[in-house]
Amino acid sequence: MKLNKNYIQTLIFLAVYLFGVYFWAQPYLERKLPYGEYDAMSHFEVADYMAYNDRSFMALPDYIDLRYGNDNKFRPHTLWYPPTFHASLGVMEAIGGERVLPVFFLNTVLATLVIVSVYFVINSLFGFLPAILSAILLIFSPRDFMPYIWGQWPERFAYAFVPIILYCFYKYFTAYSKHDNKPVYLYLAALFLGVNVLIHPLVFFHSVIGLAVLYIVLAFKQKKIVFNWKHIAISGAIFLVLFFMFPYQTFNIFPQFTGGSGGNAQQSSFELSRVFQWSLNPQDYAGSVPPSYFSFSDMNGLWTLPFLLLGILFLAWRRESRDLFLLAWLISLYLILHRDLIGKSAFLHRSLSASAHIFAPLAAVGAVYAVSFIKTQSNVKTYLKYTAAAIFVYLVFSVNMAYASKIINKDTYNPNTSNGFFTALNKEEYEAAGWVLKNVPMNANLTVLGIPSQPNILDATSRKIRWFAAVAQHVTRFYDLRPDKEEILKSNDWYIMLDYTMLGPLNDRQTFESMQQFEKMNLTKHALVYNQNNIRVYKLET
Amino acid sequence: MKLKSTEFKDFAILLSVSLLIILSFSFFFFGIAGVRVALGIVLVTVPFYLILNNFELEEGEKVVFSVLLGLTILPSFAYLLGFLISFRLSMAVIFTILVIASFLIKKFRK
């Protein structure tokens, strides 16, 4: 086999990408336990229910409906997103033969596919060097992996489609003439746009605005209007087939779009200064995302700024069609990020998470092509180009990777450290939840003692309880917070779990003794049905 | 864009080497479940690669596009069919239908 240059480049990219997957997989690599915020639980629940029970479902099961029953405004008590993303996880859970690892592994692959699509598009348009530099920088983008570890899974995957949709349209537009054209690229753009809406509606709007800006920019550049009824009709049909595939879910876009602001964002009046700002005011999102999320320096590394500006300058100076492709993508993201100026501020901070997808290639183009501004011999230019690329890689690993490693590592949501002690299931709790799934009737609920429910800690431990419900596929509630404690003790519909696993590390002797007392005094008519690893489950004897 | 036979052979070797690297990586870090997931991704990709192979596209485009379509379109249809039959069985049925569709497209485009 003659090793051609493209194949070597592909293998280099594969190595970079797999390192990215490893880096992002650290929170579950060793423990193989589920983790994340509420959104992560919901995505796991939907996929796992499908795969574990080997069937699709329309009405939400009780333990999911409890929280998400009204999230679908168009058709309450059904899935609030189209099932495309979750079915994909479900397929891999079925193939993987386990419940946790296949879901989390595939999710890592899906969330990092934006690295593949950015690499692919930049490699096709600008060559290997800017493409691989973009990919390396994207691996350590906190605005990408933070939402991923929190649980905004479909959104992360959906962003992988934006560059692909723009690329397909670019190929169609640039190849179009009266005598020759490649409509397959427009059909593919429509197909990916349809898939995009099935995965995440917000990102679909990114793609639509991107297409509009790209069309205008290319029309000016190439001085042609591309309009073909036949191509548009076929593309429209492809898109509509996908849009109507899951009408209960896709129609939920409309009440959501016309609804409130979403997130913590405040409806703001027009402020001229916003026009000159890329990021948003961290105070408007206090409690939702950390202030660092809005910092260019923290999220991209201040060192990328000169390269980014050089990249924009170079593209604006050269203005080839491929240059305008990147600039159009940048302009479209600017427009999306300033939709609050027309009163549409819903999930504005979520759109900010797409910044690195265009910043990384622009910075890489800046690093590689900056030398174009210097008048010197071509061999010196080549030397300078590779020197700039080497400095770029050095800075990515020394600055961005160092920063990223503090946020995403094997201690992220680790129940054995303070990082995840109150929020994530420990191994004993995970096993108990698995036992509940297999042994407790589907119509029965679970109530728990031993997991702290005091107001100061409730926000954190509520997540642990929800993870328990997700793995057990049963409604799970804090016993101490129930108003119907007496009825629960007399009911066959409630199983009572005493979780002693957290009390040792907390050195909470008082709760330990009160739980022992509770067992002796209140569970005399109950049978002990599970007693392992300091977790006990009781059911009323009939 | 159709490849010449020598180019196709080289491309097949590149795919095999890549697959070997991916499977080794998956096994080392994720165990046997990881290998099964990696193979699963390849499996859902194959029908779309066969379909896209009927059109004038670059090899890289076919690979990237078929991964994205395999991870979305196939599970979506499997979900729909999953209302009638078992979810696992629906995956197999949809896979088979898509492979047949790729050959039908090839036949009708000749």
Selected residue of A28, A88, A196 to mutate for chain B interface (largest B Cβ count, 10 A): A88
Residue A256 has pLDDT above 80, yes or no: no
pLDDT band at A343 (very low <50, low <70, confident <90, very high): confident
Here the ipTM equals 0.95
Using a CB–CB cutoff of 8 Å, tell me whether A7 touches chain B: yes
CB contact under 8 A, A91 and B44: yes
CA gap B86, B81 in Å, rounded: 8
Q: What is the rounded average pLDDT of the residues A217-238?
A: 96
pLDDT band at A179 (very low <50, low <70, confident <90, very high): confident
Q: Which residues pair with A376 in a beta bridge?
A: none
By Cβ distance, the residue of A15, A87, A161 closest to B79 is A87
Query: What is the three-class DSSP state of B58?
Result: coil
CB contact under 8 A, B33 and A10: no
CB contact under 8 A, B87 and A110: no
**Cβ-Cβ contacts under 8 Å, A246 against chain B:** 76
CB contact under 8 A, B18 and A105: no
Would you state the structure tokens that stand for residue A12, as one six-digit string? 């280099």
How much of chain A, in percent, has pLDDT values that exceed 90? 89
Comparing CA positions, the residue from B13, B59, B17 lying closest to residue A14 is B17
The 10 Å Cβ neighbour count of residue A452 is 18
pLDDT band at A205 (very low <50, low <70, confident <90, very high): very high
By Cβ distance, the residue of B74, B76, B87 closest to A55 is B87
Euclidean distance between the first and final Cα of chain A, in Å? 73
The predicted-structure confidence for A77-91, as pLDDT tens digits, reads as follows: 999 999 999 999 999
Selected residue of A6, A31, A78, A91 to mutate for chain B interface (largest B Cβ count, 10 A): A91
Q: So what's the pLDDT on residue A178?
A: 75
Phi, psi of A528 (to 5 degrees): -80, 115
Residue A432 has pLDDT above 60, yes or no: yes
Tally C-beta pairs within 8 A across A and B.
147
**Cβ-Cβ contacts under 8 Å, A94 against chain B:** 87-88, 91
Which pTM value belongs to this model? 0.95
| SS3 track for A215-274 | HHHHHHHHCCCCCCHHHHHHHHHHHHHHHCCCHHHHCCHHHHHHCCCCCCCCCCCCCHHH
Q: What is the rounded average pLDDT of the residues A346-366?
A: 96
Residue by residue, DSSP assigns A40-84 as HHHHHHHHHHHHHHTS--SBPPHHHHHHHTTT-SSSTTB-SS-TH
Residues near A165 by beta carbon (within 8 Å), at least 6 away in sequence: A189, A192, A193, A196, A207, A210, A211
How much of chain A, in percent, has pLDDT values that exceed 70? 97
**Cβ-Cβ contacts under 8 Å, B29 against chain A:** 22, 25, 29
Q: So what's the pLDDT on residue A542?
A: 75
Q: Looking at residue A371, what DSSP letter applies?
A: G
Residue A142 has pLDDT above 70, yes or no: yes
Q: What is the rounded average pLDDT of the residues A331-343?
A: 93
